[in-house]
Amino acid sequence: MSWCTFRFLPLLITLALPVLAAELNDPFATAALTPLKPSPQLAARAAQAPCASILPATALGAVEVVDLALCNHPQTREVWATARAQAALLGVAQAAWLPDFEARVASGRNYLESRNFSQSSAALTLSWLVFDFGQRSANIENARQLLSAAAATQDATVQSLFLAALQSYYNAQAARAAVLASGEAERAAQEGLAAAESRYRVGAGTPADRLLAKTALSQATLNRIRAEGEARNALGVLANAMGFAAREKFVLDEIPRSFPASAFQQDVDALIDEARKRRPDLQSAEAQLRAATAGVALARALGRPTVNLSTGPGWQDVDGINTRTGNIGLTLSVPIFSGFETTYRVRSAEAQVDIRAAQRDRLHNQVALDVWKAYQSLNTATQSLQATVDLVVSAEQSERVALGRYKAGVGTVLDLLAAQTALANARLQRIQAGLDWHVYRATLAQAVGALDYTLLQPAAEGNP
């Protein structure tokens, strides 16, 4: 390499450094456009409760379960990374408005029959796309709308994880309560067996009564063992929903007891209208439709002329003879024929618009169905909750009467066993109805697009 090359290398490096620094400094501020983690709607809670990477030793309530799920679930990181990638692609699209600055250095040795000589050259070239009939604008609009779609998809995913964590939490609580209920049923069966044996010893009972009571106790014990296995499985599912291994150990808070009586009551048509404004998946579909529309403009612009400006100095050293050059010029590129590529690109882009519009319309109808089903399910759960309260009260009275009659010798063991079975079933239905109410309430909030931490505030009214 000749002295000319070494002479201009520091200059080329110096000129390149600002470009590298600008890239590192995010000149288009795309990081500010990236939605917050886990989502903008939950940013206030994330600021109050920084993410924990391990399960705490304290008991977990619904709020803590959701915190851990949104912080640790891999899907949360995935959708946030997708949004960041799309924000960076917006920066790529905006970079097309800036000129390109390139440095080029070459060195070689020529071998001829008569003599050999060295040849070196260096050049700086500034090129700028001056006019492109809307290519860059359409590309930026496409990237901007795709970023909006990614942010809305992140919100939708976070709400789905939020709901899944709540469902797993309440299912685990229901399984835990089923263990307690089955334990109470087992104790009642033991009391029934004790009464049957007592009557048998004094000659007032039959062996058949004693065997029936013993069978009922065995069945109650089996039900309790099965309930304990289901509870362990439910805890494993909950650990997975929070982003941890199923074998992780943790303790749940007390089962929620209070249920607001009518805080959710609204006109279902109003809820559907609100959902169509708030649902993030519908917002994502709208943004994808706008991105596809911008894609049509981009496809059309790709077949139009472009005007480029280029300029820059050059240096050349050929066998010790130094030459300095420079150039400036405009280049007009006019596509004349490209094998109908532009025609089919436009046709494909227009078809994408139709696809996105159909997807948006399908989701528009699905939103109404989701709200309708969730609303009706919550209404049913609310009515069932009160019905199970009455059911438990009457079943408890029936069981006490049947046990008293049997001990007094005026009732049969079959009456006692039937009353005990009815009471056990009533308690299970009461527990499940209460926890189902919480799940359906969260499902309705998610269907409307309003699922956030306000749903988990302590209930203020009602205590069925």
State residue 461's pLDDT score.
41
User: Which has the closest alpha carbon to 316: 53, 80, 104?
Assistant: 104
DSSP state of 392: H
State residue 2's pLDDT score.
44
Residue the block writes with tokens 């008569």: 114
Q: How many helices (H) and strands (E) does the chain have?
A: 11, 4
Taking a C-beta distance cutoff of 8 angstroms, is the pair 156, 96 a contact? no
Residues ≥6 apart with Cβ < 8 Å to 446: 159, 160, 162, 163, 374
Residues ≥6 apart with Cβ < 8 Å to 380: 440
Mean pLDDT rounded to a whole number for the chain: 84
> What confidence category does residue 18 fall into, taking pLDDT thresholds of 50, 70 and 90?
low
Q: Take residue 241 and report the two structure tokens written for it.
A: 């929903």
User: Which has the closest alpha carbon to 375: 441, 456, 459, 451?
Assistant: 441
State residue 41's pLDDT score.
58
> What confidence category does residue 169 fall into, taking pLDDT thresholds of 50, 70 and 90?
very high
- What is the C-alpha separation between 159 and 456, in angstroms, rounded? 14
What is the pTM for the complete model shown? 0.78
Q: Take residue 181 and report the two structure tokens written for it.
A: 């209920």
Residues ≥6 apart with Cβ < 8 Å to 392: 423, 426, 427, 430
- What is the C-alpha separation between 247 and 233, in angstroms, rounded? 10
State residue 8's pLDDT score.
46
> What confidence category does residue 452 fall into, taking pLDDT thresholds of 50, 70 and 90?
confident
The amino acid sitting at 416 is L
Looking at domain 42-96+135-309+339-456, its CATH architecture is Up-down Bundle (1.20)
Query: Does residue 37 carry a pLDDT above 80?
Result: no
**Domain layout of the chain by residue ranges:** 42-96+135-309+339-456
- What is the C-alpha separation between 226 and 219, in angstroms, rounded? 11
Task: Tell me the average pLDDT across 39-46.
Answer: 58
The amino acid sitting at 281 is D
- List, edge to edge, every strand of the sheet that includes 321-333: 100-111, 116-131, 306-318, 321-333
Task: Tell me the average pLDDT across 375-388.
Answer: 89
Q: pLDDT for 384-418, tens place per residue?
A: 888 988 999 999 999 889 888 888 877 788 888 88
State residue 3's pLDDT score.
42
- What is the C-alpha separation between 60 and 71, in angstroms, rounded? 15
Query: Does residue 298 carry a pLDDT above 90?
Result: yes
Range with the lowest mean pLDDT among 6-15, 272-281, 322-331?
Answer: 6-15
Q: pLDDT for 198-210, tens place per residue?
A: 877 877 777 888 8
- What is the C-alpha separation between 441 and 464, in angstroms, rounded? 16
State residue 224's pLDDT score.
92
State residue 459's pLDDT score.
47
Q: How many CB atoms lie within 10 A of CB 111?
A: 7
Range with the lowest mean pLDDT among 137-141, 257-261, 360-364?
Answer: 257-261
> What confidence category does residue 276 fall into, taking pLDDT thresholds of 50, 70 and 90?
very high
- What is the C-alpha separation between 284 and 146, in angstroms, rounded? 8
Q: Take residue 17 and report the two structure tokens written for it.
A: 């450094």
Residue the block writes with tokens 């070196």: 120
Taking a C-beta distance cutoff of 8 angstroms, is the pair 237, 246 a contact? yes
Range with the lowest mean pLDDT among 20-29, 60-69, 184-193, 425-434?
Answer: 20-29
Residues ≥6 apart with Cβ < 8 Å to 74: 243
User: Which has the closest alpha carbon to 129: 307, 272, 376?
Assistant: 307
Q: pLDDT for 226-250, tens place per residue?
A: 999 999 999 999 999 998 899 999 9
State residue 266's pLDDT score.
63
> What confidence category does residue 366 fall into, taking pLDDT thresholds of 50, 70 and 90?
very high
- What is the C-alpha separation between 229 and 223, in angstroms, rounded? 10
The amino acid sitting at 143 is A
Query: What is the end-to-end Cα distance of the chain in Å, rounded?
Result: 89
State residue 397's pLDDT score.
92
